């Protein structure tokens, strides 16, 4: 059995690369397969200004493997003090491709995020005028709202009011995890899209909790019930233009995942393409994989698709990858889908 599939080279529309020794250690895992990625700005301190983004971009370029052709697409971390003129200038220069909204306290390094959405109204107005997408971490942080309901409540109480108040604002709902997220995007018109991660196509909340707690399956937004995973799989494999891949590959060293209060994040850069080929094959949707990984994202971000290609092959033997990436910052465990994967990237 040998089957090959050649795609336009994929892009990752939501990626955490971190900095320093971690950046150096994990960057090749992405550049091996992906041509471009939207780079998350939640460093410590965050990437807030155009100048911060330019400096971070230079650090990423300096860390690239010698033979890598990879373009980091930079983002700004929205704070209540963000200057609309700085955002507009960073966009006009071609440096910045999106602004990231973290509700304060929602996830890793989100403390500088937004508490009062009225204080960022002027930035939203500017972004709507210039067509710069807003990438949204869509969870409310209200203590009384159950963690499994935080995405659905965010859509109704925060995102929908923002979009109604700011016509023309282009929004990417990042890493959607619910049927409500899928339905909202489908009903949302051409200014709304969503990224879907690899791991949310594989795990539901049982994978995290049944038979012992699995820290490497803990991420935010947390995986939900099976009905939601199935809705995500249907959306990803549908080929619909407003769903595309954003891995949210988010490395943390093992000692910070495997402890009493473990960090959120699944590291999927290494095996995302193999797993996705397996999933799309299972769903009888291999003909839609290129749309999800390589065509829908560039179309929404108004960029050309990549000219180069990536070939996947179906294999009799299960695919093999390192269990951990050994970085200078420490070991990072690669996401384990929990079943044998019969696809691999052909080098
Ligand atoms: O699981 C997550 N990890 N979700 C996020 O929103 C942030 C990310 C990280 O930076 O580790
Ligand atoms: Zn993320």
Residues near 19 by beta carbon (within 8 Å), at least 6 away in sequence: 43, 56, 59
Q: Whose CA is nearest to atom 2 of ligand 1?
A: 265
- What is the pTM assigned to this prediction? 0.98
Rounded to whole angstroms, the Cα distance separating 102 from 140 reads: 10
CB 43 less than 6 A from any atom of ligand 1: no
Distance 344 CA to ligand 2 centre (A): 25
Atom of ligand 1 nearest to the CA of 264: 1
CA nearest 154: which of 232, 228, 82, 101? Answer: 101
Asked if 132 contacts 99 with a C-beta cutoff of 8 angstroms, the reply is yes
CATH of the domain at 104: 3.20.20.140
The structural domain count of the chain equals 1
| Host domain of residue 230 | 4-346
CB 219 less than 6 A from any atom of ligand 1: yes
Rounded to whole angstroms, the Cα distance separating 199 from 172 reads: 18
Task: Render pLDDT for 83-110 as a digit per residue (tens, 0 to 9).
Answer: 999 999 999 999 999 999 999 988 878 8
Distance 152 CA to ligand 2 centre (A): 18
Catalytic residue ranges = 248
CB 134 less than 6 A from any atom of ligand 1: no
CB 135 less than 6 A from any atom of ligand 1: no
Q: What is the pLDDT along the chain (347 residues), one digit of tens a residue?
A: 569 999 999 999 999 999 999 999 999 999 999 999 999 999 999 999 999 999 999 999 999 999 999 999 999 999 999 999 999 999 999 999 999 999 998 887 888 999 999 999 999 999 999 999 999 999 999 999 999 999 999 999 999 999 999 999 999 999 999 999 999 999 999 999 999 999 999 999 999 999 999 999 999 999 999 999 999 999 999 999 999 999 999 999 999 999 999 999 999 999 999 999 999 999 999 999 999 999 999 999 999 999 999 999 999 999 999 999 999 999 999 999 999 999 999 97
Neighbours of ion ligand 2 (CB under 5 A): 248
Task: Render pLDDT for 176-213 as a digit per residue (tens, 0 to 9).
Answer: 999 999 999 999 999 999 999 999 999 999 999 999 99
Residue 290 is inside which H or E element, if any?
Answer: helix 289-290
Q: How far is CA 188 from the centre of its chain?
A: 20
Q: Whose CA is nearest to atom 4 of ligand 1?
A: 220
């Amino acid at each position: 059995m040998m089957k090959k599939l050649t795609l336009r080279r994929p892009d990752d529309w939501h990626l955490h690369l971190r900095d320093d020794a971690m950046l150096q250690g994990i960057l090749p895992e992405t550049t091996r397969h992906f041509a471009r990625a939207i780079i998350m700005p939640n460093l410590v301190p965050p990437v807030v200004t155009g100048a911060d983004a330019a400096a971070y971009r230079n650090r990423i370029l300096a860390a690239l493997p010698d033979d890598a052709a990879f373009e980091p697409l930079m983002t700004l971390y929205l704070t209540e003090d963000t200057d609309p003129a700085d955002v507009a200038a960073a966009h006009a220069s071609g440096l910045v491709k999106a602004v990231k909204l973290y509700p304060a306290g929602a996830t890793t390094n989100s403390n500088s995020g937004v508490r009062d959405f009225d204080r960022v109204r002027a930035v939203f107005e500017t972004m709507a005028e210039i067509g710069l997408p807003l990438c949204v971490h869509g969870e409310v942080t209200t203590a009384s709202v159950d963690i499994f309901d935080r995405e659905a409540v965010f859509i109704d109480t925060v995102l929908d009011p923002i979009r109604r108040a700011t016509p023309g604002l282009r929004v990417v709902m990042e890493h959607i995890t619910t049927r409500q997220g899928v339905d909202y995007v489908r009903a949302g018109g051409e200014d709304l899209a969503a990224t879907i991660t690899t791991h949310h196509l594989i795990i539901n909340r049982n994978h995290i909790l049944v038979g012992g707690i699995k820290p490497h399956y803990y991420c935010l937004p947390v995986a939900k019930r099976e009905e939601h995973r199935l809705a995500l799989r249907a959306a990803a494999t549908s080929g619909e233009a407003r769903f595309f891949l954003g891995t949210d590959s988010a490395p943390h060293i093992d000692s910070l995942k495997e402890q009493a209060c473990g960090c959120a994040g699944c590291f999927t850069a290494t095996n995302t393409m193999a797993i996705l080929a397996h999933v799309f094959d299972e769903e009888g949707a291999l003909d839609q994989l290129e749309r999800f990984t390589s065509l829908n994202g560039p179309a929404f971000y108004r960029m050309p698709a990549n000219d180069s290609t990536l070939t996947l092959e179906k294999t009799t033997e299960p695919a093999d990858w390192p269990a951990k990436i050994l970085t200078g910052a420490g070991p990072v465990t690669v996401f384990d889908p929990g079943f044998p994967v019969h696809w691999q990237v052909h080098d």
